[in-house]
Amino acid sequence: GLRRDLMPKHVAVIMDGNRRWGQERGLSLDETHRAGGKKLAEIATLCRKWGVKVLTVFAFSTENWTRPKEEVDILMNLFGEQMASYLGDTTRHGIRVSTIGDKSKLPEILQKTASQLEEATKGNSKFHTIVALNYGGQQDITQACKKVAGKVKEGLIEVEDITKSIIEQELETNCAEYPNPDLLIRTSGEIRVSNFMLWQLAYAEMLFVDKLWPDFQESDFAEALRAFQQRQRRYGAQA
Ligand SMILES: CC(C)CCOP(=O)(O)OP(=O)(O)O
Ligand SMILES: [Mg+2]
């Protein structure tokens, strides 16, 4: 069974396979991605129930802009709707919701809703969901480098003072006491990191499962967590 004391603190999920799932069922893109959003809510609830502290989900990558405008609009509308409903739902007490990624490219209304939700929940500490919107790992590291270079230029730090943690402080995921995912799960059979949290996933256990995201059940999630718990994490040290 699952051991609460061996639960990963921070789980990252690349939710993949929605379109294939929808096509199999002859669903519209809206129904398809709505099912993906519903699955996210289910898995977030399980995380909270089982003692995971942070869940980061890859909701929209910098590369997703190349999709047909109709689909991008559907996704943006859905993100806004889901965040607005979270904002209104006080039963989500204790849950913090924040985003990572370049929000300046998102529709104004979504930027506003996301900021309101982050502001309204920033003090909550029971559980933290981080939604990666227009996020890219290389872009994240690039913006962090620019911030550090700025500090050197302002004379706040010397070049020789630049350490791993100086850079980590500027990464977009600095907002959690568990900034680095312990476990990455990607659904749909794709075995790629797709420019997700490149720096932060340096030592994450990675699990690639065949199920399409909307089909990813409680039992699949429990199995993934059990696999994680059985792995001996070495962080590069000897056995
Ligand atoms: C935007 C993203 C969360 C949707 C993930 O599913 P997908 O649209 O990539 O679905 P496919 O991999 O089946 O095309
Ligand atoms: Mg895909």
ipTM above 0.95, yes or no: yes
Q: Which residues contact 219 (CB under 8 A, 6 or more apart)?
A: none
Q: Tell me which ligand sits closest to the C-alpha of residue 15.
A: 1
| Ligand found nearest the CA of 64 | 1
Which atom, in ligand 1's list, is nearest to the CA of 22? 13
Q: Give the Å distance between the CA of 24 and the centre of ligand 1.
A: 13
* Residues linked to residue 131 through DSSP beta bridges, in sequence order: 57, 99
The pTM for the full model equals: 0.95
Can you read off the two tokens belonging to residue 232? 């001996």
89 classed as catalytic:
no
Alpha helices, DSSP H, located in the chain: 18-24, 29-50, 69-88, 108-121, 137-153, 164-168, 218-230
Ligand 1 centre distance from Cα of residue 135 (Å): 15
pLDDT in tens, the chain (239 residues): 899 999 999 999 999 999 999 999 999 999 999 999 999 999 999 999 999 999 999 999 999 999 999 999 999 999 999 999 988 776 677 899 999 999 999 999 999 999 999 999 998 989 999 999 999 999 999 999 999 999 999 999 999 999 999 999 999 987 668 999 999 999 999 999 999 999 999 999 999 999 999 999 999 999 999 999 998 666 677 66
Instruction: State phi, psi for 46 to the nearest 5 degrees.
Output: -65, -40
Ligand 1 cavity residues, CB under 6 Å: 15-20, 36, 59-60, 64, 75, 188
